[in-house]
Structure 1
Amino acid sequence: MTLTLLQRVAEIRGSAPATRRAILDLMLEDPDRVLEESFDSLAERSRSSVPTIMRTVRDLGFAGLREFKLALAQELAVGGSPLHRRVSIEDAATDVVGKIARSAAASVSGVRSQLDMDVLDGAVGAIAAAPHIDLYGAGATSWFMTGDLQARLFRLGLSANAWADYHLQQVAGAAQRPGGVVIAISHVGGMPSLLDAVDIARAQGAKVVALTRPGTALAAKADYLLGLTVPDDAVMHVGIDAYLTHLTVIEILTVLVAQRLGDPAMQRLQRARDAFQRHGIDATTHPLQSWDGGGIGEDKAANGTGNGSATS
């Protein structure tokens, strides 16, 4: 019978040196927390060192902590209930809140260890220099992600369009040119129409930035693969872990592209923010909107119909 990962941890614990045993004890005691933390944090809690942690995960058959965490996340995903992989039907509300919050935090924390920084740097450079950027999504979640990223890139001063319609994705791909960029977002990474649009854009000389799982058909077509592996969701094929990790990468791309563009992007953002405040858009105080510089209240006062006006 094949042992589970945690069973293997328990098995090697008995013969492990004291320093490694402390690490293995933490893995058994709270695997969720180990899933969330870094090498340094785990070393501090176990009063050991990063090299000792590396030797421990290699004893378990993994090249590093990243590979160990992915295997642990997949194992933890098997448990739970049909509602959530970490939650049992009998759990109290406080347990449900805690387990889901820890699960979400672990998903976001895992983004850092999965991103290849050289690939990310190349993607940022291509996006910042592109004469035009098209964003393709496949499915409701990915469509939302492409719209969100398009709005961010547009505010930075970049020419960017997000396309939800499959036919228009292909039309946009045919209109691409060398130096252009297509950002394709799909957790599943196998929608034929999306793949066709990517192929068309690549044939025009565009570079492809793909946000998807490693090993998918979309990943194979990417010039810059931002590959993220997340545990399967118990309810939805594309669940909360995919949402959170993709949104995190979108925020990372936005900030890094803004840094690459420099002062012009910062000044554009500030001008947009100032304009929105003047016209009551994105304002926290919800002022009355006016597009001519005056307020509705001022118009009423001028006409003698506002509150407090003298009438006879």
Structure 2
Amino acid sequence: MTPSLLQKIAQIRSSAPATRRAILDLILEDPDRALEESFEQLAERSRSSVPTIMRTCRDLGFAGLREFKLALAQELALGGSPLHRRVNIEDAADEVVSKIARSAAASVSGVRGQLDMQVLEGAVAAIAAAPHVDLYGAGATSWFMANDLQARLFRLGLSANAWADYHLQQVAGAAQRPGGVVIAISHVGGMPSLLDAVDIARGQGAKVVALTRPGTALAAKADFLLGLSVPDDAVMHVGIDAYLTHLTAIEILTVLVAQRRGEPAVQRLQRAREAFQRHGIDATTHPLQSWDGGGINTGGRAS
């Protein structure tokens, strides 16, 4: 039987040089924490250096810390219970809270190491300059992400539409033109109708920004691939890790596009905020609609 990654670490530990042994000991002692840490944090804790961390990863058969972390995350995902990949059935409530919070933090902190900055900057430039942006989502979670990003881009002054219906995605793709951008969001990255819509948009000269896992069919069609890998979820096909990493990437895109568009985008955001404060449903001066009496609910006063 092929040994697990943690078993392999334990096997090579005894023959490893002292500095690398300290790194391996920390991983064996608390693999969850090692999964969360950066090169620098792990090097500081083990009193070694980033190059030593890299050499240790290569000793284990990985190109670097990123590849090692993905393999470790996959192995840890096989543990736990059907409730959550980090949680055991017998865990107390405080352990459940701690493990899920740490798992979520590790997912978010891993985004930086997976994003190619040159590709990201190219995607931001294309989106910021696009005459129109279409957003496609495949599945409930991806559709939510597409809709959220559409609202953000619209507030920045961009012409943007999010499409959930597969037929309308293809119609929108046919209406694209050179300079336009399609943002396709799918963790799985293999929905045939979504791929067809992307092909149609590319045929019209649009650029494709894909938020998906590396190696998927969607990734292969992207002009700008924002590739994010996450461990498998114990409950759902697309779980909380994919949700959090995609939401983090969307926040990064929003801020960078706003920076690229400059002062006009900042002013639009400020005006929207002021409008919400004056007229929003959460304002104390805004009366709530009442469906009982056909009038306005004024907190007990006659309308």
Task: Give TM-score scaled by structure 2 length.
Answer: 0.93
Does the 8 Å CA contact 1:39/1:65 hold for their aligned counterparts?
Answer: yes
User: Partner of 1:102: helix, strand, or coil?
Assistant: helix
Letter in 2 for 1:287: T
Alignment partner of 1:287 is 2:285: yes
SS at match of 2:161: strand
- State the AA in 2 paired with 1:78: L
Would you say the 8 A contact 1:20–1:56 is kept in 2? yes
Distance 1:119 1:7 in 2: 37
Match of 2:201 in 1: 201
Does 2:87 correspond to 1:87? Answer: yes
Counterparts in 2 of 1:286 and 1:5: CA distance versus 1, 3 Å: farther
The answer on 1:99 being equivalent to 2:102 is no
Q: 2:262 maps to which residue?
A: 262
1:181 aligns with 2:181: yes
Any conservation in 2 of the 1:280–1:289 contact (CA below 8 Å)?
A: no
1:120-269 pair list within 5 angstroms: 120-269=120-269
Q: Which has the larger radius of gyration?
A: 1
Partner residue of 1:67?
67
Q: Percent identity among equivalent residues?
A: 86
Query: How far does residue 2 in structure 1 lie from its aligned partner after superposition?
Result: 1.1
In 1, Cα distance between equivalents of 2:41 and 2:285: 46
Describe how 1:290-305 pairs up with structure 2 within 5 A.
none
Aligned pairs, number: 292
1:289: how far off? Answer: 4.7
Query: Are the equivalent residues in 2 in contact too, given 1:280–1:287 (CA < 8 A)?
Result: no
Q: CA contact under 8 A between 1:279 and 1:289: conserved in structure 2?
A: no
Residues of 2 paired with 1:125 and 1:115: CA distance? 16
* Matched residue SS, 2:154: helix
Q: What amino acid does structure 2 have at the position aligned with 1:70?
A: L
Using the TM superposition, give the Cα deviation of residue 72 of structure 1 relative to its aligned residue in structure 2, in angstroms. Answer: 0.5
4+ long deviations beyond 4 Å: none
Separation in 1, partners of 2:143, 2:115: 22
Residues 212 and 225 of structure 1 are in contact (CA less than 8 Å); yes or no, is this contact kept in structure 2?
A: yes
Which whole-Å deviations, capped at 9, do the CAs of 1:177-199 have from their partners, x for residues lacking one? 00000000001111111111101
Distance 2:100 2:273 in 1: 35
DSSP-derived class of the 2:110 partner: helix
CA offsets, 1:69-119, max 9 Å, x none?
Answer: 011011111111111111111111111111111111111111111111111
CA distance in 2 between counterparts of 1:241 and 1:133 reads: 26
Unaligned runs of 5+ residues in structure 2 are: 289-297
Q: Deviations over 1:236-257 (max 9, x none)?
A: 1011111000000000000000
Using the TM superposition, give the Cα deviation of residue 154 of structure 1 relative to its aligned residue in structure 2, in angstroms: 0.2
Cα deviation, residue 286, structure 1: 3.7
CA distance in 2, matches of 1:79, 1:273: 45
CA distance in 1, matches of 2:133, 2:30: 44
**What secondary structure is seen at the aligned counterpart in 2 of 1:230?**
coil
> In structure 1, the residue corresponding to 2:152 is in which secondary structure?
helix
Aligned residues of 1:136 and 1:185 also touching (Cα < 8 A): yes
Opposite residue 277 of structure 1, the aligned amino acid is Q
The one-letter amino acid paired with 1:158 is L
Shift, 1:280, TM fit: 2.8
Q: What is the alpha-carbon distance in structure 2 between the residues aligned to residue 251 and residue 241 of structure 1?
A: 15
In structure 2, C-alpha distance between the alignment counterparts of 1:122 and 1:29, rounded to whole Å: 41
* In structure 1, C-alpha distance between the alignment counterparts of 2:284 and 2:4, rounded to whole Å: 55
2:239 aligned partner, one-letter code: G
Q: Encode CA deviations 1:161-214: one digit per residue, 9 max, x unaligned.
A: 000011111110000000000000001111111111101100000000000111
Contact 1:138 1:186 survives alignment (8 Å): yes
- Using the alignment, how far apart are the partners of 1:23 and 1:263 within structure 2? 47
CA distances 1:23-47 after superposition (whole Å, capped 9, x unpaired)? 1111001111111110111111111
Aligned mates of 2:165, 2:63 — CA distance in 1: 42
Gaps of 5+ in 1: 291-299, 307-312
- Give the 5 Å matches for 1:48-63: 48-63=48-63
Corresponding residue SS for 1:246: helix
Give the letter for the 1:271 counterpart.
R
